[in-house]
Amino acid sequence: MIGSSPGLMQDYPLTVDRFLEHGAKWHGAALVATAGAEADQSIGYAALRDRANRLSGALIDLGLKPGDRIATLAWNTQHHVEVWYASMGVGLVCHTLNPRLTVAHLAAMVAKADDRVLAVGAGLRDTAEALLDACPSLERLILLDGDTPEAGRPEVIDLEGLLEVGGRAVRWGQFDETALAGLCFTSGTTGAPKGVGYTHRSNYLHTLRALQADSIALTARDSVLVAVPMFHANAWGLPFAAPAVGARLVLPGRSTDGANLARLISRHEVTVAVGVATVWLGLLDHLDATGGETPSLERVIIGGSSCPDSLLQRMEQRLGATVQTSWGMTELSPLGAISPRSDKPGAARGSGRPPLGLDLLLTDADGAPLPDQRNTVGRLKVKGQSVVNAYFGAGASAVDEDGWFDTGDLAQLDDDGNLTLAGRSKDLIKSGGEWINPVEIEEIVGALPAVGLVAVIGRADPKWGERPLMVIEPAYGQQIEDENLRAALKGQVADWWIPERIVRVEAMPLAATGKINKALLRATYGDA
């Protein structure tokens, strides 16, 4: 009898390969365009799907099996998208690495992930070969974006050569939707990198969340410029969302300068552009200098850090587009809240509201829910089907007994549920949408004999949101030049972590506990 059946719906695993399969079947001619030095490279979803599928076969023939990790150190290009789908389509785990980090940081992540293969984009070969030498788990380098291998290194092969020699069609899927699809580390923002493992199910449901009408809301008529890096929290899910609806995908390669972005917007009639605020500041400056226009552009979606109202107004006036502000985290896949696309230019919006599939909770310092969840500041916790439950390899849960994940942010919600961040409970610095860990800087500088005490705080910056500022109390009778302080950091942390401004004080302010009073330092030096 029909009524005795345990379920009346088909078992349809929610795996991310279905996005490109759908795009290839129903929007096969819709283009994925990659910026090039002389000419842009374009390919339809149908052809891209065939190449990615054949690449899956080549990866299997390298000895990779479901669950193995393949790392990528690459830019936003067609080849990078192909590696994403080729690996995820057969149950491999795609581990995206941030090229802005040092070799030491990257090597720690590769070792923790136990990556077996590294796919490397143009201009990053030296870093990749240093990782190959430093990481015993790495067996192969795959060169992307037209780079070709040198003689004498059989473990290095280019993607086109790999397709030519070993490319073969295989069947995608055939694994559980709860299997890992992707891995992204949080860049060591708490002293050691934490891995966030995205499952196929979580990525699939995150894509549906992003496609909601008051969210990123892409359609087949859109042309989407992805200026947020593919190594940054799933590129906000756009390589999944675009083929899911047949939107054209525009990839800037390794260059997100204003001139390149303006050219891509014009050439590919971009309707939606996505990235952190500093990227769009470069675009605005270029347009002002050249008198250029962006008539096709309808929406700009920004995130990464809070954006000054003056920049929002300048963007909307100069670009003639509506700006959607958003908030998210690596641990959220990453979309947490976004202002509705229906908002009129100039509307006050904070970071927007959470789409269906994510819930927010404000608590006190002890974790108890605030009795009034509106118009009061509390610790921000989240829960949802695309929120981390445990960090990769950590074993222990990352959520409380009720399933809430503590973001470490302070926030408030207005009467309409719009989220506004009110600072962070931790001392991390967010610069240009990327995190800087002041503890690492302090440990290096604090080891210098001429330094008595050191503190690094975030200082408001009109371009980057925040930049690190170093406060030094010299050791008794000692002097040390700024150049020597920065030289100690060179090569130990990423160059963009190094503070431009250094302040010296006779006595470091201390709290009652004896710890450095960073709250007082921020109040004194934190404003631009």
Spacing of C-alpha 268 from chain mean position:
24
The reply to whether 331 belongs to the active site is yes
Q: With CA atoms as reference, report the closest residue to 55 among 144, 178, 183.
A: 144
CA distances from 3 to 12, 197, 426 (A): 21, 38, 54
Q: Reduced to 3 states, what is the DSSP secondary structure of residue 342?
A: coil
HSE at residue 206, side-chain half, CA atoms within 13 A, is 31
Active site residue 207: no
Write down the catalytic residue from 331, 440, 442, 466: 331
**Any idea which residue has 């010299």 for tokens?**
474
**Secondary structure of residue 249 in the 3-state scheme:** strand
Spatial distance between the Cα atoms of 470 and 483, rounded to a whole number of angstroms: 13
**Cα 74 from Cα 308, distance rounded (Å):** 30
Active-site entry in 112, 194, 381, 430: 430
Q: How far apart are CA 163 and CA 66, in angstroms?
A: 20
End-to-end CA distance of the chain: 72
Q: CB-based contacts of 4: which residues, under 8 Å, 6+ apart?
A: none
Residue type, 507: A
8 A C-beta contact, residue 200 and residue 16: yes
349 neighbors 335 (Cβ within 8 angstroms): no
Choose the catalytic residue: 15, 34, 186, 278: 186
| Residue at 102: amino acid letter | T
Is 344 marked active-site?
A: no
H helix intervals, 169-231: 200-210
Q: Is 435 a catalytic residue?
A: yes
Which residues are designated catalytic? 186, 331, 430, 435
